[in-house]
Amino acid sequence: MLWAARLSGFLSAAMLMVVLSPSLQSFPPAEAIRSSQFDSHVRFPGQIAGGARGLPFRRAPSFRNAADCGNATGNVCDPSLVHIAITLDEGYLRGSVAAVHSVVQHAMCPESVFFHFLVSDPSLGDLVRAVFPQLRFKVYYFDPARVRGLISSSVRQALEEPLNYARNYLADLLEPCVRRVIYLDSDLVLVDDVAKLWRTDLGGRTVGAPEYCHANFTKYFTDRFWSEEQFAGTFEGRRPCYFNTGVMVLDLARWRRAGYTRRIERWMEIQKSPPGRIYELGSLPPFLLVFAGQVAAIEHRWNQHGLGGDNILGSCRDLHPGPVSLLHWSGSGKPWARLGGGRPCPLDALWAPFDLYGPAAVEPSRQTVAINQFNSHIHPPEGSAGPMQHLHKP
């Protein structure tokens, strides 16, 4: 198959360049990264899933803004900051750390990025502080009891976790001065400067996300939903399209004014009430019910999703056509689990350079070369087409 041959060839070439050419020049955003203390390890002393104590992570390389970034303050209300919200939990902790690492690795102004971590275990903030000593962030406790009575069963247990619904409450949890935020899932990595995503023009909409209008939108809702007029008319006057809620730019000021949190909760209450379900798949459908057809469309490059396969088997997937700025392992297959189990998919190798769990797989300088080599393919010079732009599903 052509795509497999191209991917195999690219990965082989990248590995060869890592081994033979550690002195290659950096991709521009890497000017903001300075490697230090990479051999240092920190251990999270809290109780970890399975009962093991002491989860080892390497300390991330230090980073600083490029010369033309200016000096952002540590004040969460500083209007020059880029705000990112992401959840932290024991099961996905390795993924969250890799996601944060990928953001600061590719940001031209990493000191101007402020992270908002949503947790059910506040002690996880200590791990973040140890792994990323320079990171600007705040930890917000999300009480699982707030949504436990609203959650309905789904195809995967992970989709039923209360923290998966914390994104619904960002407008309530974050400071009122935070008027916009990028929400990111824990199973993704960025390979581009997040400031580009931050500057997205929402055109007066509350939510911005890549839309997929070719997807079968009806499958997310039950026969009951489509057969009862009170529900089936929900999308009247709209052209609803599927969008993945793992990458969103949110206008929190508009959200607060319109009371969207309560609108989402109302659909969750209907789902739990007799005579039965109106949708499938956990936290996604309430977002579709409220926002589908009213989303500011963002380039697909900002959510190359589905790399975790489907929600049952987690089989290997290829990239969608087009350039890539963010790789997202949505689905049941997670790169850290597949790599750790010795059964990786080809694209999992693109997540590995950002993993800070355990001993370093490659030396820091060579790891940066691997990242830059990848970027040179997915962000080719204007007018040229890199190999990653031609890959598509068979």
DSSP output for 258-290: HTHHHHHHHHHHHHHSTT--SB-STTHHHHHHH
Residue 95 and residue 76 in contact, taking contact as beta carbons nearer than 8 Å: no
CATH number at 92 reads 3.90.550.10
Q: What is the pLDDT of residue 25?
A: 28
Here the tokens at position 199 are 């500057």
Domain hosting 69: range is 57-355
Q: Give residue 73's pLDDT band: very low, low, confident or very high (50, 70, 90).
A: confident
Residue 26 lies in a domain: no
Residue 153 lies in a domain: yes
Residue 319 and residue 390 in contact, taking contact as beta carbons nearer than 8 Å: no
Using DSSP's 3-state secondary structure scheme, residue 73 falls into coil
Residue 236 lies in a domain: yes
pLDDT in tens, 172-229: 999 999 999 999 999 999 999 999 999 999 999 999 999 999 988 899 999 999 999 9
Residue 67 lies in a domain: yes
**How far apart (Å, rounded) are the C-alpha atoms in residues 204 and 219?**
29
Token pair 């407008």 is found at: 171
Using DSSP's 3-state secondary structure scheme, residue 42 falls into strand
Residue 319 lies in a domain: yes
Residue 328 lies in a domain: yes
**How far apart (Å, rounded) are the C-alpha atoms in residues 151 and 141?**
19
Residue 381 lies in a domain: no
Q: How many domains does the chain have?
A: 1
pLDDT in tens, 86-113: 999 999 999 999 999 999 999 999 999 9
- Whether pTM exceeds 0.95: no
pLDDT in tens, 303-341: 999 999 876 676 898 888 899 999 999 988 999 999 999
**How far apart (Å, rounded) are the C-alpha atoms in residues 220 and 280?**
5
Name residues whose C-beta falls within 8 Å of residue 203's C-beta, 6 or more positions apart in sequence.
296
Q: What is the pLDDT of residue 154?
A: 63
Q: Rounded to an integer, what is the distance from CA 348 to the centroid of its chain? A: 15
Residue 3 lies in a domain: no
Q: DSSP readout, 348-367?
A: GGGTGGG--BSS-SS-HHHH
